Every structure is written in structure tokens, then in C-alpha cells.
Copies of this chain bind each other. A is one copy, B any other.
Amino acid sequence: MAGNTFGKLFAVTTFGESHGPAIGCVVDGCPPGLPLAAEDFRHDLERRATGRTRHTSARREADEVEILSGVYEGLTTGTPIALLVRNTDARSRDYDRIAAQFRPGHADYTYWQKYGIRDPRGGGRASARETTMRVAAGTIARKWLAQRHGVAVRGWLSQLGDVVPAGFDADVIEDNPFFWPHAPQVPELEAYMDALRKSGDSVGARVDVVATSLPPGWGEPVYGKLDGELAGALMSINAVKGVEIGDGFASVAQRGSAHRDPIAPEGFASNHAGGVLGGISTGQPLRCSVAFKPTSSLRLPVDSVDTDGQPVEVVTTGRHDPCVGIRAVPICEAMVALVLMDQALRHRAQCGDVGDVDPRIPARKP
């Protein structure tokens, strides 16, 4: 498949262009019997949506999810769940000018090189609008993970440009438009973003995600490692340039005696590993950190070429996020949830009867 399906057993296939008639997805492999309704998608999609505050793009999509299949009398049936969201606020005229130009830092040039053709309206398939369906599919995964295993996936902004949180309070993250874990800094961030928007420029961000209550044993060595798949999933989000698990790049300067997490009968004494050893979950919180580049859609002009190879000056006037990382928090959470859901099913497939088969296998809890 040409890259539009995510997951091996809980498989999400997304489709749709930014300014086409609709976006949607098909979720195949969902266990039957999970309660699911259109309202379930509202909360996460609202968190991801543009147009809710002045700090994100002004595009205001209704994002009403229609469930087309796979649910009967409020329960999933085990058949594919198709979700559809009509595009309602596409303003394609914004893109007329750039149809024959390549915007630096965008996929315009590479789609052109790959396919020989591209839909220039709103970035087409390369638009962040595609991530709507990641969040929608992630909602199903989160419901199952929570109901079946008590797993919770939680993200926040851990850096905005060069600003880092001066404290951490999980309870305030959802109460401010920045998913910021330290409330007193919010006015500072508001001012920062207002100035940025006025300047016509953009800035990068860092998002942290933690998943808790994972059972140990999820993840497939060698190439299906839990951390490997997380890295692949998170790096597949638009604008991501780096991924860390646990201590990440800080590990480079660490000593092994400091990095390894001692084990006591009551559990691990620290979590430098970030909840994964040998590609398999330890049962500790799973910790990821993700770098988002600053968006390239700016009012500030930049040199480029057109489709004839002639030099042009590109100015982007559509509605764009000055910091795409902010809205990316629920997207990162969704991708983590999708990886976990898929690995949970894969683990059950191969190891669902560990302990039952042969008396020589001892009980697993140390």
C-alpha cells in the first residue's frame, strides 16, 4: 500500500485532500463489542481543531464525524469502521497564485517530483487536515485501551520556541489554549504568540506524550519494537523533525551506571528507559518527546521557483498556524494510542496463551 494505511492489525487507512469534498478513514480490525458513537469523536477533534483561538489557523471546520459502517446498535461489530468528515470551510482561491509555484519548506516540490501532478489547494493531501482522521481513529483506540487495559495517553507542550515550562501541573494542561503544563506562564505565551503572529513568522515546538498503565510485554522485537514503531508513527506527523524515547538525546552524555533503571521487588527505581526495554514495554509509563519545526507558510517572502523552473518570490496568504506544534498535542497522543492498540492486538495474537501451554513456563510476575 502506498503509505496511507497505518497499523498491522488495527489498521487505519485515511484519505482526502485539504480542499476536496471530504476526508475520512477506514478502521479495520477493531475488536467487536466496543461502544462507539459519533459524539465520541467530538472532544479530541475539538482539541485538534483550528479556529478555536487566535493562536491557530482561522480555518473553522465543523469536523462532524459520520460513522458510515462497522457500528450496529451502538457497538462495534468487528467489520470496518468508516468515518467521514465533509470539508466545509475550504477557501481554494487562496491557493490560485501558488498552484504553479513551489513553496519552500512544503511538500509542493516533492509531490510534483514524485507524482508529476499535485492538488495545490491547501496543500492537498500533504495538508495537516489529514491529521483530523488520525485523531478520530485514535479516539477509537483510546476508548478500547482505556476500557480494556486502563491505559491513558496524555500529551502537553513542553517547549514553545525557546520557552520551556517553569513547572508541571497535569491538571492545567487542558485549561489553556497551549496545552501548557504551567498556568502562570500562559499570559507570557499569549504575548509571545501575538508578537509572532504580527511578525508574520512562525516558530517550532516540542510535545511530550506519556502513556500510563501499560501492561509489560507489548512490542515486537526486532523490527516491530514498540519504540521503533512509536518513532515511525510520530515522525510521520507533518512537520516533525525528531523523536525521543525516555531520556532520548540526553542519554548520549550519560554513563551506563546512571542510565540503567534498577529493579526492586516493588518495581523499577527510575525510568530513564521511558518504559521500553528491548522494544517491549516494561509496564512503566511510556515517555516520548517530539520536535515540530516552524511552519513554512509565512507572509514573509522567500525565493523559490515555479513549475517551469523560473525564479519567483513566494508569499503565502492562506490561513495558517504560527506554531503547528500547539495543535499537534492531540495528534501525537493519537499516534501513540494507535501504536499501542496495534501492539496490544499483536501481542494477544502471539502470546495470548502464555502461561497456559506448558508447565515448564513459570508464572511471569517477578
Contacts and interface: CB of A to CB of B under 8 A. Distances in A.
A234 to B, nearest CB: 7
B217 A113 contact: yes
Nearest to A103: B260
A11 interface: yes
A288 to B, nearest CB: 10
A191 interface: no
7 contacts: A3-B225, A22-B82, A33-B116, A114-B218, A225-B235, A249-B249, A257-B302
Interface stretch (A42-50, A51-59, A73-81, A167-175): A73-81
Nearest to A34: B357
A114 B28 contact: no
B9 A1 contact: yes
A187 interface: no
Given A351-B31, A351-B78, A4 B261 contact: no
A255 interface: yes
A16 interface: yes
A107 B359 CA distance: 23
Given A69-B23, A204-B253, A82 B15 contact: yes
Interface residues of A, number: 171
A5 interface: yes
Interface string A338-366: 00000001111111111101101110111
Quick one: copies of this chain in the complex?
A: 4
Q: Which of A230, A354, A366 has the most CB of B within 10 A?
A: A366
A309 B365 contact: yes
A358 B102 CA distance: 22
A274 B239 CA distance: 12
Given A77-B119, A228-B235, 14 more contacts: A2-B29, A5-B28, A34-B357, A75-B358, A78-B114, A106-B278, A113-B280, A148-B353, A201-B255, A204-B253, A231-B234, A252-B292, A348-B349, A349-B352
Given A1-B11, A15-B26, A259-B105, A32 B354 contact: yes
Given A33-B358, A349-B346, A13 B5 contact: yes
Given A82-B24, A263-B102, A243 B252 contact: no
Interface in A114-165: 114-119, 124-126, 130, 147-148, 159, 161-162
Given A33-B117, A244-B241, A17 B251 contact: no
B5 A110 contact: no
A189 interface: no
Interface in A269-292: 269, 272-274, 276-283, 291-292
Interface in A300-359: 300, 302-311, 325, 345-355, 357-358
Contacts of A13: 5, 13, 26, 28, 80
A72 interface: yes
A211 interface: no
A245 interface: yes
Nearest to A234: B231
Given A255-B203, A351-B78, A263 B303 contact: yes
